[in-house]
């Protein structure tokens, strides 16, 4: 994605993003970014609340997804679970990122499509992998930040597929967060979002076409209800349940 950013001048739109988030707030700052990139977002979000705690989980086809959702959900009390690289876009942006750390370079690289290898390599040059011990500590803090955000009645966003891994088993972070929040008896709405027919390849074609391809980038979303017996299962089973909903 970073190569794509440079090739089509997308990075230029991020130059003022941190300042815009400071001046306009998260949602309007994201809107200015996304509209500047020529992306027109068609929202079909069923019963998404303007207030109350919401735990959103979504597929994650491109690196722009957190900012598209920042615009689309329309709430400034928004943080997302994301790579430490995302927090490097500025101090004001970093306030909206619950930063996670990466460990194994080669395993993560080989799970990606070859077209995305240059971007991942560049990302890891800027934010190198860390030891498993350090990653465990960083990720524990990130999950605690997500949970506290929900406790405060805000929006927390998680991408359980970890990027373009939807054809592989989801990571267990979402299930761990739900289990943690439930044990603390925090009231929240679980909400599922889907980017329809979106990918980094299509994003590239969008810019090659002169920002005309995605006149209607569709995002759908709906509340998800979990039963008490779901919360009594282990993390792996709960992850499978969430993916199937």
Q: Per residue of the chain (245 residues), give pLDDT as tens.
A: 555 555 555 667 778 999 999 999 999 999 999 998 888 888 999 999 999 999 999 988 888 899 999 999 999 999 999 888 888 888 999 999 998 888 877 877 777 777 667 777 777 888 888 888 988 898 899 999 999 999 999 999 999 876 555 555 567 788 889 988 888 899 999 999 998 878 777 777 777 777 766 667 889 999 998 877 777 777 788 888 887 77
Record the pTM: 0.87
What are the angstrom distances between the C-alpha of 205 and each of 29, 160, 199, 212, 228?
A: 25, 26, 10, 9, 45
Can you give the pLDDT at residue 74? 96
CATH fold, domain 2-244, is Glycerol-3-phosphate (1)-acyltransferase (3.40.1130)
Is the dihedral angle over the CA atoms 42, 47, 53, 54 positive or is it negative? negative
Torsion (CA) 160, 117, 85, 146 in degrees, nearest 10 = 0
Can you give the pLDDT at residue 94? 93
């Amino acid at each position: 994605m970073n190569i794509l950013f440079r090739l089509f001048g997308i990075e230029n739109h991020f130059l003022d993003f941190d300042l815009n988030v400071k001046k306009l707030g998260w949602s309007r700052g994201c809107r200015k970014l996304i509209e500047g990139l020529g992306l027109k977002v068609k929202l079909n979000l069923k019963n998404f609340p303007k207030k109350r705690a919401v735990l959103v989980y979504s597929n994650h086809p491109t690196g722009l997804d957190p900012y598209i959702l920042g615009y689309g959900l329309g709430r400034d009390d928004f943080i997302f679970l994301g790579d430490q690289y995302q927090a490097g876009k500025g101090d004001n942006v970093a306030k909206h990122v619950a930063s996670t750390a990466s460990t194994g370079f080669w395993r993560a690289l080989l799970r990606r499509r070859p077209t995305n290898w240059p971007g991942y390599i560049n990302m890891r040059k800027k934010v190198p992998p860390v030891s498993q011990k350090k990653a465990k500590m960083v990720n524990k803090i990130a999950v605690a930040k997500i949970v506290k955000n929900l406790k405060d009645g805000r929006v927390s966003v998680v991408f359980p597929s970890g990027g373009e891994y939807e054809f592989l088993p989801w990571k267990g972070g979402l299930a761990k967060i739900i289990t943690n929040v439930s044990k603390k008896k925090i009231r929240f709405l679980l909400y599922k979002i889907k980017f329809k027919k979106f990918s980094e390849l299509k994003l590239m074609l969008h810019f090659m076409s002169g920002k005309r391809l995605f006149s209607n980038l569709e995002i759908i979303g709906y509340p998800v209800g979990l039963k008490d017996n779901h919360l009594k299962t282990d993390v792996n089973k709960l992850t499978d349940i969430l993916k199937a909903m």
